[in-house]
Amino acid sequence: MQHDAVAVIDFGGQYAHLIANKVRRLGVLAEIRQPEDPIEVFERYKGIILSGSPSFASQGEDSDYTRAIFDLDIPIVGFCFGHQQIAEHYGGSLVHGGREWGKAMLHIVGDSPIFKGLGEVEQVFMSHYDSVVSVGPGFEEIGFSKKADGQDGHRFAAIANEELKRYGFQYHPEVDDTLNGETMFRNFVIDICGCSQDWNMEGFLDEEIARIQQQVGADGSVFLLASGGVDSTVAAAILGKALGPERLLMLHIDNGLMRKNESAEVVEAFEEVGLGKQLHFVDASEVFLEALKGVIEPERKRAIIGNTFIAVFEAEAKRLGIEDHLLGQGTIYPDTIETGGSKRADTIKTHHNRVPLIDEMIAAGKVVEPLADLYKVEVRELGEKLGVPHDLVWRHPFPGPGLGVRCLCSDGKRDDEGLDAVADQLAQTAEHFGIGAQVLPIRSVGVKADLRAYEHPVLLHGDADWNTLIEATSVITADIPGLNRCIWNLGPEMPSEVRPVKATMNRRRLDVLREADAIVMDALRRHGLYAKVWQCPTVLVPIEFVGGGGQPGGELIVVRPVHSARAMTATPVDLPGAVLADLRRQILKLDGVSGLAVDVTSKPPGTIEWE
Ligand code: XMP
């Protein structure tokens, strides 16, 4: 069935996925599109939404896209950068200035249908440097802003040309701080574009089953990589329903990067739901560890893990005589889009299910990915509908490369080039907040202004309250170059020395990490926090804390509890003192651990994982 759909053009802002999610919540299919997609792609949509961007429209940045969209007889709305594009395209003008950040009040003028059902004044969320200062013929101001404290804000916070059905909002209706953003989306998508609300999980399930049956053919079968995580388990459930149990085989690979006892538990869980016979298990931990031997660079580790998965998968298919089976994967929509070849998106990290080898297999039609169009929240909804056990559906997300991205490696040399230059600035900032701070001589991956940032973490120490830590982190990572994360020391005092440790991937280090991770997961469950925290990676960092409260010669463990809705952004979680005390008591005792800290960085600038 063809659905009415809306295109969300992703100009590289942080919130394009949030926009698509909000539209889908209305029961209307929204798809992310790239600005340079050919015009024919856009013709089939009933509406187009232009996202925000890190570029400055006033400087003409990023102006080279498929502008023929403006000639289509399809309603268009733009947010922030998208708003400025619309204003300028139709003869308005922009300035580099008028920065607004955070909550503002939108004063609505006139009675545009896009504001149907709203009050005269609405709280909205602003985040921009550029502003619209005039509009062209046929356009009018339908809203201006005032600051939350009542001071003057800006004209042209919302504009419209009702005849052409072109709208622009300087603010972000997709962000929850725009309190009635959902009504604005509804007015645009349902009333102005005329979309039917016919996209839902029941419908998706029926259509996807038909699509899988067609792709696999009457005689074909699928061999699915089953990690035991949410995505691959829901993929197994839908494939089983589409093809019947005899045509679905699954492979669980122990890559040596799983959590403590995890592979055994996955095998047991499949047996419990009656799928034990279809699940093959292979212990390939030696193969993975051999391939990763001596490797330090994070992106190389990711590539090796992705390629080794395929090598093991192919060897296993050969051994079982099922090389004709299609490869099944639980890839979800953000994985596909983020590595989808957008000119604008920087490669923050390569997902293991999108290494070039797999791209080639996809091009040859050899891969089935039943969830490739869904977001995590939708996968969970589908999982519940398919009767996948509740605990499994609500497991914390676990990355495909497993503990591989949480076990950092180092050649043992100090990686602190250029850090002297920021020492004074860091010391002054720390003093201002009444805490101690020192830069760590290693790096981790982060994301700043939509670009990959491979920079240094800062260790904070002191009795500061949570808000002070968050504020200090925000100032340090925004104002001091080369720093992308802050961690808060849980040891009794600031270490007298921090020494890089020469360390690559090996079983001993992974066992230390597994043990610490098991302690963290157990503490979250015992304190009733597992369901409240979205994800909580535990990371092994090759740095020895001398006087860090742990074992001499050991490394640093960092705990990273976050809240997130869609993993594109995240906020750190303030774990209660009793939990921290538990972690301190148990983890600092472990052989191989010299220090313990909790990551207090949001995403951006820190990614959720450290690599
Ligand atoms: P980051 O670290 O980019 O992570 O903030 C966002 C979310 O994605 C998960 N993640 C992965 N999941 N394959 C996956 O299936 C991967 O290669 C991968 N890398 C990160 C991460 O755990 C978090 O939930």
Give 570-607 pLDDT, tens digit per residue.
Answer: 899 999 999 999 999 999 999 999 999 999 999 889 99
The residue whose CA has the least distance to atom 17 of ligand 1 is 351
Q: Tell me the whole-structure pTM to 2 decimals.
A: 0.84
- Helix (H), strand (E) at residue 479: helix 466-479
The residue whose CA has the least distance to atom 9 of ligand 1 is 399
Counting from 1 in the atom list of ligand 1, the atom nearest the Cα of 352 is 17
Beta strands in 444-549 (DSSP E): 444-448, 451-461, 483-489, 497-500, 538-541, 543-546
DSSP single-letter state for residue 276:
G
Q: Is 608 in the pocket of ligand 1 (CB under 6 A)?
A: yes
User: CATH says 201-401 is which class?
Assistant: alpha beta
Amino acid at 538: T
Q: Is 166 in the pocket of ligand 1 (CB under 6 A)?
A: no
Residue ranges of the chain that CATH labels 3.40.50.620: 201-401
Q: Is 456 in the pocket of ligand 1 (CB under 6 A)?
A: no
pLDDT surpassing 80 at residue 150: no
Tally of CB atoms within 10 A around 491: 20
As a whole number of angstroms, the longest Cα–Cα distance in the chain is 73
DSSP single-letter state for residue 413:
S
Counting from 1 in the atom list of ligand 1, the atom nearest the Cα of 608 is 5
Mean pLDDT over 135-160 rounds to 92
Amino acid at 236: A
Instruction: Flag the least confident range among 98-112, 340-354, 422-436, 515-529.
Output: 340-354
Quote the CA–CA distance of 69 and 386 in Å, as a whole number. 39
- Helix (H), strand (E) at residue 431: helix 420-433
**Quick check: 325 and 249 in contact, CB under 8 A?**
yes
Predicted confidence band of residue 341 (pLDDT cuts 50, 70, 90): very low
Report whether CATH 3.30.300.10 matches the domain 410-599: yes
3 state SS of 458: strand
Residue ranges of the chain that CATH labels 3.40.50.880: 5-192
pLDDT surpassing 70 at residue 344: no
Q: Is 485 in the pocket of ligand 1 (CB under 6 A)?
A: no
Positions marked active-site: 80, 172, 174
**Average pLDDT for the chain:** 93
Report whether CATH 3.40.50.880 matches the domain 5-192: yes
pLDDT of residue 449: 61
Tokens of 443: 């790096």
Quote the CA–CA distance of 476 and 600 in Å, as a whole number. 12
DSSP single-letter state for residue 191:
I
Mean pLDDT over 470-480 rounds to 94
